[in-house]
Amino acid sequence: MRRLFSILPMLVLAFNLLNAADLRTIFINMPDSVMPLFTKSERMDFFDYMDSGMEAKAINKLGGESVMTLFRDDMLSINTSESGRADIVLFKRKDGTSLVCMIVTVLGNYPDSRLSFYNEDWTPIPANSLIKYPSMEDYLTKKALKNDSLPELQRQSMLRLQSVSAVDGVLEFNYTSLGYIGEDAEYFRDWFKDEPIRFFWNGKRIKR
């Protein structure tokens, strides 16, 4: 009996690995409500074109053309329109299943991203159970945090737009609200760190 209990976790892990869904299946089976721009048929079109060695594209519900620019085992990227991009990233859990991270970005002069998280079956997961988003102060240098003008920057930069990119399984956050400040933007530009804020998946949470 003791031996049975000792091998039970390995059996569960093996079962989960065998039944883990791949990214193509996860994306095709996405509920239309998660990404209303595409029906299931249109999501399948991307792969039909890709498998034929052609540009992976689909006509979205608005009548425009969307293009899948990247597809790997753990990530895909779609230019949904001239002003939008969607990225889906898989983070492997220790039990063999995947956490699904979807990044929807509005492009333009000041890109802004929104993240949402799901299980493989698209059951939503509260973001605050997985990640603590950076504040504006996290983007500032130590010198800037001690500057007497900091309250003025905080007052002017209330929008706090952030763009998020996925690079080799790492989420990179960039602060994009600075341009909204106007003529004072150049004065404050040196206050911000040159590097993005990077978050890593540790098997349970996404942390800096």
pLDDT in tens, 6-37: 454 443 333 344 445 999 999 999 999 999 99
The continuous run of DSSP H or E covering 187 comes out as helix 185-189
With a cut of 80, say whether residue 179 has pLDDT above it: no
Whether 134 is in a domain gets the answer yes
Number of domains in the chain: 1
Tell whether 138 is covered by a domain: yes
Round to whole Å and give the CA distance between 164 and 162. Answer: 7
Domain residue limits at 117:
20-207
Q: What is the pLDDT of residue 39?
A: 97
**Is residue 198 within 8 Å of 207, Cβ to Cβ?**
no
- Identify the pLDDT of residue 156: 75
So what's the pLDDT on residue 8? 44
What does the pLDDT read at residue 49? Answer: 97
Domain annotation covers residue 84:
yes
pTM for the model: 0.86
Is 170 a domain residue? yes
Whole-number percent of the chain with pLDDT over 90: 73
Q: Identify whether 13 is part of a domain.
A: no
CA distance 138 to 123: 31
Separation between Cα atoms, residue 59 and residue 130, nearest integer Å: 34
The pLDDT of residue 138 is: 94
SS3 state at 166:
strand
In this predicted structure, what is the pLDDT of residue 193?
92
Token couple for 84: 């939008």
**Tokens, residue 56:** 């992976």
Domain membership of residue 25 (yes or no) is: yes
Average pLDDT, the chain: 89
Within-domain flag for 85: yes
The residue with greater pLDDT, 124 or 19, is 124
Is 6 part of any domain?
no
